[in-house]
Amino acid sequence: MFVHIGFTVLFWLLVSPHSLPPLLSSALVIVFSLLL
């Protein structure tokens, strides 16, 4: 479950990098990498 959500969020961040601030994107990547 967490793996699917993590990859979905990472894919979404790669597709639309300008939708979130860079720091927030990096924080989300770190959080999901810890969950994985």
Q: What is the DSSP string of 1-36?
A: -HHHHHHHHHHHHHH-GGGS-HHHHHHHHHHHHHH-
**What is the pTM (predicted TM-score) of this model?**
0.40
Q: What is the pLDDT of residue 15?
A: 73
Q: Which pLDDT score is estimated for 33?
A: 80
Q: What is the pLDDT of residue 1?
A: 60
In sequence order, the 6+-apart residues with CB closer than 8 A to the CB of 27 are none
Convert the pLDDT of each residue in 1-36 to its tens digit: 667 777 777 777 777 666 667 777 777 778 878 776
What is the C-alpha separation between 28 and 26, in angstroms, rounded? 5
pLDDT score at 4: 78
> What is the per-residue pLDDT for 20?
62
pLDDT of residue 18: 64
Asked if residues 32 and 6 have their Cβ atoms less than 8 Å apart, the reply is yes
